[in-house]
Amino acid sequence: MAELEAGATGARRPRPISPHLQIYRPMLTMTMSIVHRITGAGLYFGMLLLAWWLIAAAAGPNAYANFEWFMGSLIGRLVLLGFTWALMHHLLGGIRHLVWDLGYGFQPAEREMLAVATIVGSIALTLLVWVIGYFAMGGLR
Amino acid sequence: MSGPRHNDMRTPMRRVRGLGAAHSGTADFWHMRVTSAAGVLLTIALVVIVISLLGRSHAAVVQILGSPIVAVIMLLFIVNSIYHMWIGMQEIILDYVHEDKLKFLSLMANTFFCFAVGLASCFAILKLSFGV
């Protein structure tokens, strides 16, 4: 009825809209959800790195040497470290979603625990992968 | 305000038809679950493969990446990940890009990117395997 009255006078009343992210107090579970999307987008472009690696290997020793040079540089290592962490975080975030899909982990304490496990686990797994990686290469170099 | 026009012969159904849901959202949802479950296993396999190739010569990398089991795992990882990220980026675009031209352009760019990166990666693996 209010809308009809507003229409009669020619003025258009703004429709009510639902509140968006900035209205809520930031919480860990919400942050992990956002980070899941950001790491997904990062990995999307990170697939270029995998494609470069495979194409370089298929193209020949010179192309592969260029790839190795870049990945061995400081920037290359930082990119790979970021890629590793994004992959581990997205992996654990995905498992968290699969747990929810099965109907578990919806209690407040459980949700909080899953969020903490995602961030702590992703950092731990990243370190583990890199330590094993450096061991596989025979130490720091 | 655009209320119902009394001289309009069309039914309300006719006016909203084509403006609603596409009715394919649950397929994307399910495909995301299938590819994420597969992705858990394939990501672990990829990490193991990459670590085992660190610091090896080009010739060794070519030989190992081209060996049948490794090549098949890599192909599975690539196809699974590309499909997963195709749906994922589409969801991001639909969430944030509301202007029609930009939206359809972004969706198209997403498809181009996924096909190009996926095909290039698969081609590289096949070339390494068949050794041409």
Sequence ranges of the domains in chain B: 26-130
**Alpha helices, H only, chain A:** 2-8, 28-59, 61-72, 74-101, 108-136
Residue with tokens 């009343």: A13
Concatenate the DSSP letters of all residues of B48-87 into one string.
HHHHHHTT--HHHHHHHHHSHHHHHHHHHHHHHHHHHHHH
Name the amino acid, one letter, at B3.
G
Q: Is the pLDDT of residue B131 over 90?
A: no
Q: How confident is the model at residue B22 (pLDDT cuts 50, 70, 90)?
A: confident
Q: What pLDDT score does A90 carry?
A: 98
Q: How confident is the model at residue B132 (pLDDT cuts 50, 70, 90)?
A: low
Q: What pLDDT score does A10 carry?
A: 53
User: Which residues of chain A register pLDDT less than 70?
Assistant: 1-11, 141
**Degrees (nearest 5) of the Cα angle A92, A96, A100?**
165
Q: Is the pLDDT of residue B42 over 90?
A: yes
Concatenate the DSSP letters of all residues of A102-119 into one string.
TT---SHHHHHHHHHHHH
Mark yes or no for CB contact A136/B82 under 8 Å. Answer: no
Q: How confident is the model at residue B1 (pLDDT cuts 50, 70, 90)?
A: very low
Q: Report the residue of chain A nearest B114, measured CA to CA.
A: A44
ipTM: 0.84
In words, the CATH class of domain B26-130 is mainly alpha
Whether A72 and chain B come into contact, CB under 8 Å, resolves to no
CB B47 within 8 A of CB A129: yes
Q: What pLDDT score does B6 carry?
A: 64
Residue with tokens 């589409």: B90
Q: What pLDDT score does B40 carry?
A: 98
Consecutive H or E run containing B46 = helix B25-53
Q: Is the pLDDT of residue B4 over 80?
A: no
The residues near B66 (Cβ < 8 Å, ≥ 6 apart) are: B125, B128, B129, B130, B131
Average pLDDT on B42-65 reads 96
Q: How far is CA B44 from CA A39, A92, B50, in A?
A: 17, 12, 10
B76 vs B8, which has greater pLDDT? B76
Name the amino acid, one letter, at A4.
L
d(CA B36, CA B30): 10
d(CA B132, CA B122): 14
Q: How far is CA B128 from CA A93, B64, B79, in A?
A: 33, 9, 17
B10 vs B50, which has greater pLDDT? B50
Q: How far is CA B60 from CA B55, B72, B75, in A?
A: 10, 18, 19
Domains and CATH numbers, chain A: 32-136 (1.20.1300.10)
Mark yes or no for CB contact B51/A40 under 8 Å. Answer: no
CB B45 within 8 A of CB B73: yes
Residues of A in contact with B75 (CB under 8 A): none
Residue with tokens 């096949």: B126
Average pLDDT on B8-16 reads 78
d(CA B88, CA B32): 8
Out of A7, A44, A60, closest to residue B3 by CB: A7
Q: What pLDDT score does A110 carry?
A: 95
pLDDT tens digits along B96-114: 999 999 999 999 999 999 9
Whether A138 and chain B come into contact, CB under 8 Å, resolves to yes
B21 vs B106, which has greater pLDDT? B106
